[in-house]
Structure 1
Amino acid sequence: MIVRIMGEGQVKLADGHFAELNKLDDELLEEMESGDESGFRRTLHALLDKVRELGTPLPDDALEPSELILPAQDATLDEVKDMLSDDGLIPG
């Protein structure tokens, strides 16, 4: 799956990693719902760091369609809320 981190670029991520990422996504959703700004910030950074760690960066000139778009590391709680689906940022 091709994942875009807004403001950074794209990475190719194997589908087998999504169970691990969904745990962080669920935690992020809980923190957002409770208004835990510091927990939200910590978990968003952990989620994006894990995507960077597990994914393979695509060249800057690659124009692959992104199947998943994640917010920038400095995104606000309100900006991320606008990106959410019922499943959080990561479907499944």
Structure 2
Amino acid sequence: MIVRIMGEGQVEISADDISVLNELDSELEAAIEASDEKAFRVKLHALLDKVRHVGKALPDDSLEPSELILPPADASIEEVREMLGDQGLIPG
């Protein structure tokens, strides 16, 4: 799966890593639902850090379509709330 972190670029994520990312996504969604800014910030950074860690960076000139777009690390709780789908930021 090709994932874009807004403002950073794209990474390729293996299907094996999706379940771990979904767990972090669920924790982030819970923080948003609780309007807990501190927990939101921690969970957003944890999710993005994990994507960066498990993902293989694609070259900047790559033209691969992104299957998933994640917010930047400095996104507000409201911005991320607007990006949430029925299954959070990461479907599955």
- Count of paired positions: 92
Gap regions ≥5 residues in structure 2: none
TM-score (norm: length of structure 1): 0.99
Trace 1:1-92 onto structure 2 (pairs within 5 A): 1-92=1-92
Same amino acid, percent of matched pairs: 62
RMSD: 0.4
The CA deviation at 1:40 is: 0.4
Which amino acid counterpart does residue 45 of structure 2 have in structure 1? H
After superposition, what is the alpha-carbon deviation per residue over 1:11-45, rounded to whole angstroms, capped at 9, x for unaligned?
Answer: 00101101000000000000000000000000000
Gap regions ≥5 residues in structure 1: none
TM-score (norm: length of structure 2): 0.99
Moved over 4 A (4+): none
Which amino acid counterpart does residue 66 of structure 1 have in structure 2? S
After superposition, what is the alpha-carbon deviation per residue over 1:34-57, rounded to whole angstroms, capped at 9, x for unaligned?
Answer: 000000000000000000000000
